Structures are given as structure tokens and as C-alpha cells.
């Protein structure tokens, strides 16, 4: 403790106030010791130091003795943890955050809760407003195309608003943020899509990706060019996805139980469930999940890297088994309609595994067996994909260039390039010829490629393929 | 004199309760009072007092009252509750038994 307190650079004596401020900052890092406890301990420290000064000691001597008497932080926090074991569970606090006296817009402040509730309600209302103009959701019919087209526009602007508010985005930044949403809303609704147009569904799907990355601009408080905010947004996206999936699971249970108990008394709530609860819940959960990720950021271990750790070996095993089986049976890939999309998904999963493994790795650490495993995974995925592409290329003339195939092929190539270069960087890192940071930077530098491709599918594909 | 850890721990609760039965007090004052009562022989690591106080509070033996220190800072005072007084009485009976037993053997005048 004492070596932390003494000013090592100048060797000068420190004042009582400086010492206490510094000591407090160490105390505040302990999970088991809350703000009020720190106040209490500080009061003790001051009383002790004052007594010692009155007895004739210099301020810094008095401070050091007082700190020593109060006990080392390790011991202290162990005792506090024993008494308050629940604190180590690091629960989400929904009331005012009693650990944060520096949390202006911290998660859990009443204001933030109100903002989140308001945005969630706004999303739930927004998805039902088109009903007033005749775009009705029906239980036994497909969703009207209006909803499909605008799916991301119901909620992502609200998510962007949340982050713009939370990060206090400058007015100029807000305009920049609004631009992609306006462009998206105007262009996708003005395009003269043919009925059941493939390009329309493709555009709707890619619009989500493009606008999700636009939200990243607000998340990064405008610093979207830097490596770190990008990586943080990647982490955020992974956690958001996991939270969303969990909320969706809970929502499913809720809907199932609602249907069950109302059926038991002879009522049929299905229509209400499918046309109200499902859509409103689905958009509202986007905001709630984002807020939860923000709130628990420092509280719980990130889940995405943990899942990565579990699934990297399993996927590697799967791909090795697949390659082995192909070599053994000498059978090629039967090229059907869904093959390309299936292999795209495979690459997405592998790219995700690589990305989240990278996002959670300490770049200073020396190469380890897990890095070698990652390389093996990437190489296997590249091999499998190369075989698949070979099979498809041989028969591409038979398929013709439908929008779906071009989109799938483009995505495949984009991921192939990413993984290919990642493999090279991994190999260099493992042989000690490049720093791990190179690999990190490659991943974040590549993000705009996804954005550009998504924009291309949204804006260029429809006219290119005659809005069919 | 170095008093064993277990004995320090065992005597902490009755000591704190007794001191608080003299009137409400706060952490630093309690520590000072303990030193005074034991002639400086009973040394606690100061910080360890607080988790004990928090446990007593959780069990309802003491309650906290916010007050001001001499320098007008917020300060947490602890006050004995009725059930705390009962707990103190229980401790008193137990220590009496222990004390009597020790007096009859260990401290027997030859």
C-alpha cells in the first residue's frame, strides 16, 4: 500500500488530501467495498491522521501510519466480502448506483431508466402505427412487405438516439448520424419493387447490417475511425446478440404460458399475441438488450468470448471431420440451391469466432495453444469454402446470376478475404514475426468493407436486377 | 503482549456492544475506546471493525444514524437497539461463566 501512496517520481512529500484521494481511488476498485463504506473508512482515516498530526507527526507520516492501521486493502475487501457476500455476485443495480459518485449518466440513474423506457415504448408504438394506415398484421398471412422493408427503421433509429443521448453526441455528429437513416428510409420506400421481389428482401436484410453499423457511429461518440471504439462496438454487438437471444427465449416462454392459461378458461389470445405482443416485444427488446449490455459492461464477464472458447474447438473438430469424410468417401459437394448460403453461414460463424476470440485476448500475451487452434480453424474453414466455391464455380453458368446468388457469392468472397488474411497474420504471430495487434487492427479495419457491401446491396442491387 | 486472533475475534462483539451501550458512537471512537479500555494491549486492524459493525447492523443489534463530524463531514454513528441490549445481556452471562471458571482455576490465589 505504502509504495502506491508515495509519489515515486519526485520523492516529495504528499499532502493528506492527495494521499486520501489516491487511497480512495484504490478502495473504489474493490467490488466488495461500496461507496458508503469507503466514506466510512475515509472518515476513520481522517480521524486517525488528525489525531496523529495533533500528537506532532508530519501529515504524510500520519497518513502512512493511519493507512497501515486500517489494514491492507486485500484483507479489508476479504472481510467486507465475507460480510456482504452478495456483493461479489455483482448484481445489476436498477436503483441509483450506490457505488458511483462519478456516474453522471451512469447506467441505473433514474433519468436513464426513464429514457430507456420511453424509447422502448416508442419502438413498440412505432411498429403498430402503420396499422392506422392499413398495413395490418394478420395471424395467418405473411407479414405485409411494408414491415419487411422497414423492419430496421422501426427500432434502430431509436437505438441510435439512445447512444447519441448517452454519449452526448455533438450537434454536428447528430446530423451525420441522422443522414444514413433518412437516406435509407427514403430510398427503400421509393424503390418500385416488383411483387415478391428478391431484391426487396435482400435490401431489407442488408439494411439492418448497414444501419447497425451506423448506430456504431453514435456508440463510438463519433470516433468511428479509431481502432478502440470499433473494437468496443464489436464487443457490444456480440453481447447484445446474446442478451437479445435470452430475452427472446424468455418472451417465448411468456407467450406460451399466456396462450396456455387463457385457453384454459376458453379464451383465444393467439391473435393478440402474434399481432401485438410478438412485434412490440421484438422491437422493444432491441433497446432493452442494448441498455442491459451498457449497464452491466463492467459487471459481468463478457459472454461472447466465453462462448468462443467453448465452440472454437468444437467447430475445428467438425471441419476436420468434414474434410476427413470428404477425402475418405471421395465425394464432392452436391451443389443445390442452398449450398452457397450454407457455406456463407459457416464462414460467418468462423469469422465471428475469430473476431470474438481476438476481442477478448490480451494482445500482450505470447502465442499459446489456443491461437494455434484458431489458425487451424481458419485454415480448415478456408479449405472447406474453397472446395465449395470450386464446386459452385464449375456450375455457375447453369445458375445464372440471380440477385440472391450474387449476394451470397459476394459475401463469401468478402469473408474469404478477411479469413485468408487473418490466417496469414495468425501464422506470422505464431512464428513471432508480427504483433497480435496487427490481427486486431486488421479485423477493425475491415468493418467498413461490410458496411460498403451492405449499402451496395441496399442501394445498387434493386436497380441492377430490375427491382425483381 | 500479542493476543491470539481467535480471542480478539471472540471478544470483538461483546466489546463493541458494551461500548455502544454507553451511548452511540462511530468507528474511530470505538477503536480508541477499545485501546483505552485495554490499556493499549488489544490491537485491532482498524478496518476490520467495520464489517463486524455491518454484521451487527444486519442482525438488528445496532442501527446507523447519520451525523456530522467535527469538520462537518457526513459520519455514520452506530446506536444499540433493544435487541442489541438483549444480545449484550446474553454475552454478559456467557462471559460471566467463562470468567468465573477461569477465576477458579487459572487465577486461583495460592
Judged on CB neighbours under 10 Å (0-12, 13-18, 19+), A164 is buried
Q: Does the structure show a pLDDT above 60 at A341?
A: yes
Instruction: Scan for cell 395467418, then name that residue.
Output: A140
pLDDT of residue A8: 42
pLDDT of residue A13: 59
Judged on CB neighbours under 10 Å (0-12, 13-18, 19+), A90 is middle
User: What band does A392 get if pLDDT is binned at 50, 70 and 90?
Assistant: confident
pLDDT of residue A105: 46
Closest partner CB to B27 (pick from A36, A44, A79): A44
Closest Cα in chain A, distance from residue B26 (Å): 9
Q: Does the structure show a pLDDT above 50 at A172?
A: yes
pLDDT of residue A186: 92
- Distance in angstroms (rounded) separating the CA atoms of residues A221 and A214: 11
Weakest mean pLDDT among A71-80, A397-406, B61-70: A397-406
Closest Cα in chain B, distance from residue A167 (Å): 32
- Distance in angstroms (rounded) separating the CA atoms of residues B7 and B1: 13
User: What band does A338 get if pLDDT is binned at 50, 70 and 90?
Assistant: confident
Report the mean per-residue pLDDT for chain A.
82
Q: Which three cell numbers stand for residue A45?
A: 482515516
Q: Does the structure show a pLDDT above 60 at A345?
A: yes
A–B interface: beta-carbon pairs under 8 A: 60
Label each residue of chain A as H, E or C.
CHHHHCCCCCCCCCCHHHHHHHHHHHHHCCCCCCHHHHHHHHHHHHHHHHHHHHCCCCHHHHHHHHHHHHCCHHHHHHHHHHHCHHHHHCCCCCCCCCCCCCCCCCCCCHHHHHHHHHHHHHHHHHHHHHHHHCCCCCCCCCCCHHHHHHHHHHHHHHHHHHHHHHCCCCHHHHHHHHHHHHHHHHHHHHCCCCCCCHHHHHHHHHHHHHHHHHHHHHHCCCCCCCHHHHHHHHHHHHHHHHHHHHHHHHHHHHHHHHHHHHHHCCCCCHHHHHHHHHHHHHHHHHHHHHHHHHHHCCCCCCHHHHHHHHHHHHHHHHHHHHHHHHHHHCCCCCCCCCHHHHHHHHHHHHHHHHHHHHHHCCCCCCCCHHHHHHHHHHHHHHHHHHHHHHHHHHCHHHHCCCHHHHHHHHHHHHHHHHHHHHHHHHHHHHCCCCCHHHHHHHHHHHHHHHHHHHHHHHHCHHHHCCCC
Q: Hey, is B60 helix, strand or coil?
A: coil
Cβ of A48 and B46 within 8 Å?
yes
ipTM score here? 0.82
Q: What is the pLDDT along chain B (110 residues), one digit of tens a residue?
A: 778 888 888 888 999 999 999 999 998 899 989 988 988 888 778 888 888 898 888 888 998 888 887 777 888 899 999 999 999 999 999 999 999 999 999 887 75
User: What band does A99 get if pLDDT is binned at 50, 70 and 90?
Assistant: very low
pLDDT of residue A297: 65
- Distance in angstroms (rounded) separating the CA atoms of residues A415 and A347: 6
Q: Are A94 and A113 in contact (CB under 8 A)?
A: yes
- Give yes or no for A1 touching B (CB within 8 A): no
pLDDT of residue A100: 41
**For the segment A266-318, what is each residue's pLDDT rounded down to a tens digit?**
888 888 888 888 889 999 999 999 998 887 765 556 777 788 888 999 999 99
Q: Does the structure show a pLDDT above 80 at A400?
A: no
- Give yes or no for A84 touching B (CB within 8 A): yes
Give the total residue count for chain A.
468
pLDDT of residue B102: 92
- Distance in angstroms (rounded) separating the CA atoms of residues A131 and A137: 8
Cβ of B76 and A39 within 8 Å?
yes
Residue A62 with chain B: CB contacts under 8 Å: none
Question: What average pLDDT does the segment A352-365 reach?
Answer: 82
More confident residue, A432 or A301: A432
Judged on CB neighbours under 10 Å (0-12, 13-18, 19+), A330 is exposed
pLDDT of residue A1: 39
Tell me which of A33, A83, A85 to substitute to probe the interface with B (most B C-beta atoms closer than 10 Å).
Answer: A83
pLDDT of residue A335: 67
Question: Of A56-70, A397-411, B19-33, which one has max mean pLDDT?
Answer: B19-33
Tell me which of B8, B34, B49, B51 to substitute to probe the interface with A (most A C-beta atoms closer than 10 Å).
Answer: B51
pLDDT of residue A5: 46
Residue A39 with chain B: CB contacts under 8 Å: 74, 76
pLDDT of residue A156: 93
Give the total residue count for chain B.
110
Percentage of chain A with pLDDT > 70? 88
Residue B50 with chain A: CB contacts under 8 Å: 37, 40-41, 44, 80
Question: What average pLDDT does the segment A54-61 reach?
Answer: 88
Closest partner CB to B28 (pick from A39, A47, A80): A47
Amino acid at each position: 500500500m505504502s509504495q502506491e501512496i508515495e509519489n515515486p517520481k519526485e520523492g516529495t512529500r504528499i499532502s493528506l488530501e492527495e494521499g486520501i484521494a489516491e487511497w480512495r481511488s484504490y478502495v473504489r476498485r474493490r467490488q466488495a467495498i461500496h461507496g458508503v463504506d469507503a466514506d466510512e473508512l475515509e472518515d476513520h482515516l481522517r480521524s486517525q491522521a488528525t489525531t496523529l498530526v495533533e500528537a506532532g507527526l508530519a501529515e504524510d507520516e500520519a497518513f502512512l501510519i493511519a493507512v497501515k492501521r486500517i489494514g491492507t486493502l486485500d484483507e479489508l475487501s476479504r472481510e467486507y466480502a465475507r460480510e456482504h457476500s452478495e456483493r461479489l455476485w455483482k448484481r445489476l443495480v436498477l436503483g441509483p448506483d450506490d457505488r458511483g459518485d462519478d456516474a453522471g449518466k451512469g447506467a441505473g440513474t433514474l433519468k436513464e431508466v426513464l429514457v430507456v423506457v420511453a424509447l422502448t415504448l416508442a419502438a413498440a408504438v412505432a411498429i403498430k402505427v402503420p396499422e392506422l394506415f392499413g398495413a395490418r398484421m394478420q395471424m395467418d398471412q405473411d407479414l405485409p412487405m411494408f414491415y419487411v422493408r422497414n423492419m430496421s427503421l422501426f427500432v434502430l433509429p431509436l437505438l441510435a438516439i439512445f447512444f447519441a443521448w448517452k454519449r452526448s453526441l455533438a450537434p454536428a455528429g447528430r446530423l451525420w448520424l441522422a443522414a444514413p437513416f433518412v437516406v435509407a428510409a427514403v430510398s427503400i420506400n421509393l424503390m418500385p419493387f416488383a411483387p415478391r421481389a428478391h431484391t426487396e428482401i435482400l435490401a431489407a436484410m442488408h439494411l439492418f447490417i448497414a444501419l447497425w453499423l451506423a448506430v456504431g457511429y453514435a456508440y463510438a461518440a463519433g470516433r468511428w475511425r479509431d481502432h478502440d471504439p470499433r473494437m468496443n462496438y464489436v464487443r457490444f454487438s456480440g453481447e447484445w446478440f446474446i442478451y437479445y437471444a435470452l430475452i427472446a427465449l424468455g418472451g417465448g416462454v411468456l407467450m406460451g404460458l399466456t396462450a396456455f392459461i387463457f385457453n384454459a378458461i376458453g379464451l383465444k389470445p393467439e391473435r393478440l399475441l402474434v399481432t401485438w405482443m410478438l412485434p412490440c416485444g421484438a422491437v422493444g427488446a432491441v433497446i432493452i438488450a442494448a441498455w442491459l449490455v451498457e449497464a452491466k459492461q463492467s459487471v459481468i464477464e463478457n459472454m461472447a468470448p466465453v462462448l468462443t472458447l467453448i465452440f472454437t474447438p468444437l467447430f475445428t473438430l467438425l471441419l476436420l471431420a468434414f474434410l476427413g469424410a470428404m477425402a475418405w468417401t471421395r465425394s464432392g459437394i452436391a451443389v443445390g440451391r442452398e449450398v452457397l448460403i450454407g457455406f456463407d453461414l459457416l464462414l460467418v460463424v468462423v469469422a465471428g469466432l475469430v473476431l470474438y476470440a481476438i476481442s477478448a485476448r490480451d494482445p500482450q500475451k505470447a502465442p499459446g495453444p489456443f491461437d494455434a487452434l484458431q489458425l487451424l480453424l481458419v485454415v480448415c474453414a478456408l479449405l472447406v469454402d474453397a472446395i465449395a466455391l470450386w464446386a459452385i464455380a464449375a456450375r455457375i453458368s447453369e445458375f445464372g446470376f440471380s440477385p440472391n446468388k450474387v449476394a451470397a457469392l459476394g459475401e463469401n468472397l468478402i469473408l474469404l478475404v478477411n479469413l485468408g488474411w487473418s490466417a496469414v497474420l495468425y501464422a506470422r504471430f505464431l512464428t513471432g514475426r508480427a504483433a497480435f495487434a496487427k490481427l486486431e487492427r486488421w479485423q477493425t479495419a475491415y468493418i467498413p468493407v461490410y458496411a460498403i457491401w451492405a449499402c451496395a446491396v441496399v442501394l445498387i442491387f434493386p436497380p441492377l436486377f430490375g427491382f425483381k | 503482549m500479542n493476543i491470539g486472533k481467535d480471542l480478539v475475534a471472540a471478544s470483538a462483539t461483546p466489546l463493541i456492544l458494551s461500548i455502544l451501550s454507553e451511548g452511540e458512537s462511530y468507528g474511530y471512537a470505538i477503536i480508541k475506546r477499545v485501546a483505552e479500555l485495554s490499556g493499549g494491549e488489544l490491537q485491532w486492524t482498524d478496518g476490520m471493525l467495520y464489517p463486524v459493525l455491518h454484521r451487527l447492523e444486519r442482525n438488528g443489534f445496532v442501527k446507523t444514524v447519520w451525523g456530522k463530524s467535527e469538520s462537518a463531514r457526513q459520519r455514520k454513528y452506530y446506536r444499540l437497539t433493544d435487541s442489541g441490549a438483549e444480545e449484550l445481556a446474553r454475552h454478559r452471562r456467557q462471559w460471566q461463566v467463562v470468567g468465573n471458571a477461569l477465576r477458579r482455576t487459572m487465577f486461583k490465589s495460592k
